[in-house]
């Protein structure tokens, strides 16, 4: 990554129309990396769990049509074969310290996007990266996505300090997820701008064609219009 990288897409892959509409929209805006969850780490087992293997197929097919790269969360190392066409393997906040998963991902070639655990300090994030680098892996991206603090007016507390510390202490690119940090689409644009201003290497942001009716995280996903507004504003920040 030597420019500001934007990874965008829905929280969850829901159906073919939703993902195709999103990837086409993102391609028109020159977005190269498309995110979408197929295996979802939901707090409640009653919530939508994702489309699993079918979701992965929908995402990778839609991304390939537009020459885009796909990013999706892997929760279980036994699913690795299902992720054969996924370009970037995401380890979610809830699995940052799933060391057995990290050990398996260390032995494969694809880039790993490691999200900070919501209750993990920077030292623990760095320790987790060491599980990935034991066999010489270097294609790792760390993501600050907010931590749990006493503050509950937003979903999590975005720790932009960590971007500075992680960039100083590691050789990895560090990106920011303003969507999960804020939990509210209204706050996502300013936090994304702050991430760029502080020197992050990119952002991962949730975008949905009909965000209010999304099957997961419907409160925090940007509409297409908001996303275009974000791009315009990001262009004006130079670091």
Residues that bind ligand PEP (CB under 6 A): 11, 37, 41, 73, 92-94, 115, 145, 177, 180
d(CA 226, CA 232) in angstroms, rounded, equals 10
Structure tokens, 58: 């929908």
- Least distance (Å) between residue 236 CB and ligand PEP: 26
Question: How many CB atoms within 10 Å of residue 152?
Answer: 9
Q: How far apart, in Å, are the Cα atoms of 116 and each of 67, 120, 192?
A: 29, 7, 17
Q: What whole-number distance in Å separates Cα of residue 57 and Cα of residue 52?
A: 9
Residue 41 touches which member of Mn ion, ligand PEP, none, C-beta under 5-8 Å by kind: ligand PEP
217: contact with Mn ion by CB under 5 A: yes
* For ligand PEP, the closer CB: 38 or 189: 38
What, of Mn ion, ligand PEP, none, does residue 178 touch, CB below 5 to 8 Å by kind?
none
Q: Which is nearer to Mn ion, 106 or 188 (CB)?
A: 188
Place of tokens 């996505």: 145
Least Cα distance to 209 among 198, 224, 226, 188 occurs for 224
Which of 119, 237 has the CB closer to ligand PEP?
Answer: 119
Task: State the minimum distance, in angstroms, from the CB of residue 51 to ligand PEP.
Answer: 14
Size of the site for Mn ion (CB under 5 A): 2
How many of the other CB atoms lie within 10 Å of CB of 167? 17
Minimum distance between the CB of residue 214 and ligand PEP, rounded to whole angstroms? 12
Binder to Mn ion among 6, 11, 34, 214 (CB under 5 A)? 11
Residue closer to Mn ion by CB (options 11, 163) is: 11
Stretch of 6-14, 21-29, 117-125, 166-174 lying at the interface with Mn ion (CB under 5 A) = 6-14
**How many residues does this entry show for the chain?**
239
Write the CB contacts of 223 (distance below 8 Å, at least 6 apart in sequence). Answer: 185, 207, 208, 209, 211
**Is 7 one of the binding residues for Mn ion (CB under 5 A)?**
no
User: Minimum distance from CB of 72 to ligand PEP (Å)?
Assistant: 9
Q: How far is the CB of 12 from Mn ion (least distance, A)?
A: 7
- In three-state secondary structure terms, 237 is coil
Rounded CA-CA distance 93/41 in Å is: 9
């Amino acid at each position: 990554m030597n420019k500001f990288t934007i990874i965008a897409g829905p929280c969850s892959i829901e159906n073919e129309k939703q993902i195709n509409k999103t990837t086409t929209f993102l391609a028109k805006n020159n977005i190269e990396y498309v995110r979408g969850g197929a295996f979802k780490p939901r707090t409640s087992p009653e919530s939508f769990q994702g489309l699993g293997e079918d979701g992965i197929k929908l995402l990778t097919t839609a991304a390939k049509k537009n020459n885009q790269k796909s990013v999706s969360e892997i929760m279980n190392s036994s699913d690795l074969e299902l992720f054969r066409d996924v370009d970037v393997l995401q380890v979610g906040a809830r699995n940052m310290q799933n060391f057995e998963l990290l050990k398996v991902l260390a032995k494969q070639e694809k880039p790993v996007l490691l999200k900070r655990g919501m209750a993990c300090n920077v030292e623990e994030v760095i320790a987790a990266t060491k599980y990935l680098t034991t066999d010489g892996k270097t294609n790792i991206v760390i993501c600050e996505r907010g931590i749990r603090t006493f503050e509950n007016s937003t979903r999590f507390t975005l720790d932009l300090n960590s971007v500075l510390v992680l960039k100083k202490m590691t050789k990895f690119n560090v990106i920011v997820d303003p969507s999960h940090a804020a939990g509210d689409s209204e706050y996502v644009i300013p936090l994304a701008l702050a991430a760029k201003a502080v020197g992050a290497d990119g952002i991962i942001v949730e975008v949905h064609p009909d965000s209010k009716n999304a099957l997961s995280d419907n409160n925090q996903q940007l509409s297409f219009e908001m996303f275009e507004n974000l791009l315009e504003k990001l262009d004006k920040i130079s670091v």
